């Protein structure tokens, strides 16, 4: 894993302070800057989410959008989804 620079850490801190709707806009803007990279990131991330869900006895593809969001939120919060 690559160590983050001070500037990169600060960017992450600022990003985390944004309201969720502003975060979404920023992510979409960044994705537009590198559409191929974004597609690769999305594809790899979705595959990883399927694996994590399966390891918790869940079927990612059978979950609704709200269930997926709740699963991710619980996972990020350290709760067992």
Domain membership flag for residue 9: no
Domain membership flag for residue 69: yes
Tens place of pLDDT for every residue, the chain, 81 residues?
Answer: 678 899 999 999 999 999 988 888 888 888 777 878 778 888 888 899 999 999 999 999 999 999 998 898 888 877 766
Q: Which of 32, 30, 31, 71 is nearest to 49 (CA)?
A: 71
Domain membership flag for residue 25: no
Domain membership flag for residue 68: yes
Q: What is the domain extent for residue 52?
A: 45-81
Domain membership flag for residue 59: yes
**Tally of domains within the chain:** 1
0.85 surpassed by pTM: no
């Amino acid at each position: 894993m690559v160590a983050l620079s001070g500037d990169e850490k600060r960017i992450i801190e600022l990003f985390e302070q944004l309201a969720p709707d502003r975060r979404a806009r920023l992510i979409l803007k960044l994705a537009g800057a590198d559409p191929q990279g974004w597609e690769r990131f999305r594809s790899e991330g979705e595959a990883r989410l399927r694996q994590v869900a399966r390891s918790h006895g869940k079927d990612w593809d059978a979950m609704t959008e709200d269930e997926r969001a709740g699963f991710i939120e619980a996972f990020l919060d350290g709760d067992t989804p």
